[in-house]
Chains A and B, each alone.
Chain A
Amino acid sequence: MSPAYVAIIDSGGANIASLLYALKRLNTKATLTTDAAVISAADRVILPGVGAARDAMTRLRDGHLIDVIRQLTQPVLGICLGMQLLVDASEEEDVECLGIIPGTAKKLPGNTSCPVPNMGWCPITRIAEHAVLSELGDGTYFYFLHSYAVPTSQHTVATAQHANPFSAVVSHENFVAAQFHPERSSVAGEQLLRNFIGLRQ
């Protein structure tokens, strides 16, 4: 494991502990921060998120972090709500997001055979190459916990299926994002985090 230093942006949601523990198991130094200087100087940046998009965007705006995040050049990983924050907008309360990866998060359509929230383990299908999915082939299961998702687009690296296919992983330049929770996805999630830490700049 490279000696990368990871800044985890505190966007206000609960449940950061599991991500910190997952990185610790990989012997990676990580800190939870809203400090622009720490974020900009980190080797890797993770934008996590559990909660509502509007609250998180408000917190990023109040912390003057919007432009800081947009200008990052090191590898950045969005997780779950963090993925939805990286795209243009979210249907959840009609909130404008960071606009770094093109797309709009939309509410999952639900029914009794495809309940919403989508909570549980789903296999992914790879549709593009990305080093963050190294050694993680088609059919690898990850843990999902969400009610909104980014539709598939030219930026989609892998899809998963609910009532319809949606983006499980998207990427654009140095930004990559996962709808699932790698920190709760057993050995597959650990591999993804290891891949992310090891990405070339």
Chain B
Amino acid sequence: MKGVKFRDHRVVGGIIDLAQRYCAEGADELVFYDITASPDGRSVDRSWVDRVAAVIDIPFCVAGGIRGVSDAEEVLNKGADKISINTPALERPQLINELVRRFGSQCVVLGVDSREDDDQYHVYQNTGDPDKTAAAERMTVEWIREAQDRGVGEIVLNCMNQDGVRAGFDNKQLGIVRDNSYVPLIASGGAGAMSHFLDTFQSANVDGALAASVFHGAEINIADLKRYLIDNAVDIRPVS
């Protein structure tokens, strides 16, 4: 799925075909979001996870409605390398500790949907459904600090003001979160041009950058993007 500012999601195409295409282009990791899982109160449909695992040879992460150790175990046993949690962790932060104790920090990614309101960054939840999206009554930096103390191994910061508008990553916000995180930080939301990726690596010191629509629409080819970043001295795996 892809979306624009968390509204009007549309099906983009066969995920197996897309996954294989991105692997061949040199993507370093894939993330699969079932974005309506939490607002619909159901867990992720897992029938596709082992089909993805069978055909790709790079790591992948599954997100959507993982509410407990058994949900996570099923996804990981089908071949996912990591699970990403968002709304369920906001509703019950102890979930992070439980997942980390069972699978280790390296398996547990925290997705954070964050928006700037009145010069302050707030966390939002149930962002897969515009009618159910709500402020989580948490400040972004406080939440990422708490989640790290609970053992989360990676943070994907999705900057909602930027999501889908293709005006570049929110490097100001990412920089603030970077200064408060000691686990890998992945930038998400706002990619529209190759230069946006270079900007976020250079100015926000993120460990990775995530994008959807520019890749789904083949507006940016991942192999071209990686060559451009390497030419500009970003330290990443070259395209083979």
> Which residues from chain A sit less than 8 Å from chain B, CB to CB?
14-18, 21-22, 24-25, 50-52, 110-113, 115-117, 119-121, 123, 141, 143, 145-147, 181, 183-190
Contacts and interface: CB of A to CB of B under 8 A. Distances in A.
Given A17-B50, A18-B53, A51-B104, A115 B182 contact: yes
Contact of B79 (A21, A120, A189): A21
B12 to A, nearest CB: 23
Given A17-B77, A50-B76, A184-B57, 9 more contacts: A15-B77, A17-B53, A112-B178, A113-B205, A115-B183, A115-B207, A116-B183, A117-B153, A189-B57
A119 B237 CA distance: 13
A190 B181 contact: no
Contacts, number: 101
B238 A141 contact: yes
B208 A187 contact: no
B106 A21 contact: no
B240 interface: yes
Contacts of B238: 141
A52 B106 CA distance: 11
B106 A117 contact: yes
B80 A15 contact: yes
Interface of B: 23, 28, 50, 53-54, 57-59, 73, 76-81, 102-107, 153-154, 178-179, 181-185, 205, 207-208, 236-238, 240
A185 B81 CA distance: 12
Contacts of B73: 14
Contacts of B54: 21, 24
A18 B182 contact: no
Nearest to B83: A14
B58 to A, nearest CB: 6
Contacts of B76: 14-15, 50
A18 B81 contact: yes
A69 B182 CA distance: 37
A180 B108 CA distance: 18
A146 B106 contact: yes
Nearest to A146: B106
15 contacts: A17-B53, A17-B78, A21-B79, A22-B57, A50-B104, A110-B182, A112-B181, A116-B183, A117-B105, A117-B106, A119-B106, A119-B184, A119-B207, A141-B238, A187-B57
Nearest to A113: B205
A115 B23 CA distance: 25
Nearest to A139: B238
A181 to B, nearest CB: 7
Contacts of B240: 186-188
A14 B77 CA distance: 5
Given A17-B77, A112-B181, A141-B238, A119 B154 contact: yes
A112 B182 contact: yes
